[in-house]
Structure formats: C-alpha cells, structure tokens
Amino acid sequence: MSTVTGTTWNCYDSATMTPREIYGRTLAEMAKTNDKIVGLTADLAKTTAIVHFADAFPDRFFNVGIAEQNLFGVAAGLAKVGLIPFASTMAVFASMRACEQVRTDIAYQNLPVKIIGTHAGISFGHAGTTHHCTEDLAIMRSIANMTVICPADGTETSLAVRACLDIPGPVYIRIGRGFEPPCYPDENYGFTIGKAIEMVPGTDITIICCGIAVLQSIQAAKTLLEQDGISVRVINMHTIKPIDKEAILKAVKETRRILTIEEHNVEGGLGDAVAGVIAESGMGCVFKKHGLNDEFATIGYAEDLYTHYGLDADGIVDQVRSLMGREYEADEDWEDE
C-alpha cells in the first residue's frame, strides 16, 4: 500500500492546469509505480483527462463506449480480481446513471474502485440541466462504505487522487469542469482524507465549504474583515464522508455561527452532513445551509450561475451579513458537553 504523507513530487503546474488535467497526469504518474492501477472511462477519455493514463498505459486502460452502467460493473469485476480501478465519467452519470452498479456492485462488495466524477455541480451550466449535477454528494454520502471527497482545486485533486489509494474501499472524488482557479500555492499543507483544513482563522462565524466555494469563501472572509470587522473562519471540508466532526464542533463552540456553502442542492449534501453532526451534539448555534435551494439550476456559463446563485464571494458576503444579525441561545453548560 502506498501512502501520500510527505510526497513532494510534482507532475503538474497547478497555476495553469485544470483539476481534471491534473487528475489525468497524477494518475499516469502513480501508475508508473503501481501496476495494479487500471483506468476506465465511457467515451470520455479526453473529456475527463484520463487520456494521459490511457496514452501511457494502453494495456491497462479500458474504454467501454458510452455505457456508464457497464463502466462501473466492469470496474467492479476488475477490482474483484485484485486490481485498483480508477473510473472517470461526468459526475451526473457516475452518481445517477450507474447509481445501482456503484451501490451494489462496488460499495456493497466494498471494492477499491475510485470514481472520478467530473463536470459536477453547475460547472457545466451551459450544457443544460441534463448535465448539471447537484445531487451527487447526497447520493454518494448515503451509500455505506463510500468515501466522498470534493477537492477545492487542482492541487487538492492531485492529493486526493493519491491519498485514495490508501482507502481500502470505494472512493468518490467530485471535480468540476476544470476552469476553477487554484486555492493552494503548493501541496505542503497536510492533506489527509477526513481531516478538514482551516483556511482562514476566525472567531465570529465559521463557513464550512467544499469545492469551488472554498476560494470564494476565503475572498469573502477577507472582505468581511476589512469592511465589517467580522472575523470569519473558513473551513475546507474536502471530505464529505467521513466528515470531520471535531472541526465542526470546535467551530460551533468557538464561533456559534455556522454557514455551509456547497455547489449542490442544500438537501442532502455538505450542509445536511454538518447539520447532523451539530444536532446530535446537542449544541445550539445560528445555522444556515447555502447552495441550490432545492431547485434545478437554470442555463448559463458557470461564472454567471455562481453569481446568480450567490456562490461567488459577493453572494457569500451577503449570506454572512444576514447571519450575523441572528440570535443564538446562550448555553452555559456547553463546556461540559
């Protein structure tokens, strides 16, 4: 088993390459030292950038044609004979078209299939609703044995792709269309699956976010500090499952206000995962889930949609301001919990 801790090699340029490009190259790099890694796609080799792996290792790359159910069934079979399949297609097809293959063939049998879902959220907004994917976190999170990761940028995608080899079971990694700007300057920030990262320290309110919302939240935090004097903590919850309960509860205790931001329906995704942790703890706080409000997104290029749905820095600033005015019930017994 390989481990990512202390890895320093770089096979990409995170400033100019897209997360899916980085994924493809990282996978090709990993495969050099691990001959158990096999790659699969369903007529989306170029689109999901697994083509870099395909070019380097044609004998262990399988393109099953436009057949996503077959894709994940075949991946399960490869895993059954001891291989580690990385299967990539668009998030909408991985999570919904092939949902039962993912659930029963892969997750139930607890096979080490690594699923890379690209064009997630509304990143492919101009493709229309058939290609939007604002349900995958909820679906994947509800499947037992599944680890669910939503990296913030290309650097984190590369780290997640390497780290998921250490997970014995299935992993779902959700990435966008690939034009997301970088969040991290380098990869030496201690990425560990299941451990949230504090991006900005803060004491008045905590934003818990993932994916593209991380960079936007960092920018929002800056604006809020400068303009309103509000001290915003930003937590990158890159692993949706298993979720970092400790980081959530610490934030509740220390900031008493929690705002979750996700490029996903507010039903069932990151926000609900965080809400569950808080509710079970018995602690009270101001809480809001922000994302797509149980609606199908409209048509448009991603940047326009992010603005429209308030998923950009300005939208997040508005959300924080409205939460700062809300009261929470003081609870003297918190220290004992």
Ligand X SMILES: Cc1ncc(C[n+]2csc(CCOP(=O)(O)OP(=O)(O)O)c2C)c(N)n1
Q: Which does 305 bind (CB under 5 to 8 A by kind): ligand X, another protein, none?
A: another protein
Q: Does 110 bind another protein (CB under 8 A)?
A: no
**Shortest CB 303 distance to another protein, Å:** 9
Taking the complex as a whole, the smallest distance from the CB of residue 251 to another protein amounts, in Å, to 34
Q: How many residues bind ligand X (CB under 6 A)?
A: 6
Select from 7, 11, 36, 43 the one that contacts ligand X (CB under 6 A): 43
Residue 80 binds which of another protein, ligand X, none (CB < 5-8 A, kind-dependent): none
Establish if 97 lies at the interface with another protein (CB under 8 A): yes
Shortest distance (Å) from residue 178 CB to another protein: 14
Tell me: does residue 46 bind another protein (CB under 8 A).
yes
Distances (CA, A) of 276 to 24, 178, 248, 279, 308: 35, 31, 11, 5, 28
Cβ proximity to ligand X: between 16 and 130 the closer is 130
Give the binding range for another protein (CB under 8 A) out of 127-135, 198-206, 221-229, 267-275: 127-135
Quick one: 62 or 191, whose CB is closer to another protein? 62
CB of 131 to another protein, least distance (A): 6
* Site size with another protein, rule: CB under 8 A: 30
Per-residue string for binding with ligand X, 46-75, x by CB under 6 A? --------------------x-x-------
Select from 110, 166, 219, 300 the one that contacts another protein (CB under 8 A). Answer: 300
In SS3 terms, the chain reads as CCCCCCCCCCCCCCCCCCHHHHHHHHHHHHHHHCCCEEEEECCCCCCCCCHHHHHHCHHHEEECCCCHHHHHHHHHHHHHCCCEEEEEEEHHHHHHHCHHHHHHHHHHCCCCCEEEEECCECCCHHHCHHHCECCHHHHHHCCCCCEEECCCCHHHHHHHHHHHHHCCCCEEEECCCCCCCCCCCCCCCCCCCCCCEEEECCCCEEEEECCCHHHHHHHHHHHHHHHHCCCEEEEECCEEECCCHHHHHHHHHHHCEEEEEEEEECCCCHHHHHHHHHHHHCCCCEEEEEEECCCCCCCCCHHHHHHHCCCCHHHHHHHHHHHHCCCCCCCHHHHHC
Binding positions for another protein, 47-86, rule CB under 8 A: 47, 63-67, 69-70
Residue 92 as a binder of another protein (CB under 8 A): the answer is yes
Q: 36 touches which of another protein, ligand X, none (CB within 5 to 8 A by kind)?
A: none
Q: Starting at the edge strand that comes first in sequence, how are the strands of the sheet with 114-118 ordered?
A: 61-63, 37-41, 84-90, 114-118, 171-174, 147-149, 239-241
Nearer to another protein, 189 or 296 (CB): 296
Query: What residues between 242 and 281 interact with another protein by CB under 8 A?
Result: none
Residue type, 185: P
Q: Which chain residues interact with ligand X by CB under 6 A?
A: 43-44, 66, 68, 93, 97
Interface residues with another protein (CB under 8 A) are 41-47, 63-67, 69-70, 92-93, 97, 126-131, 298-301, 304-305, 308
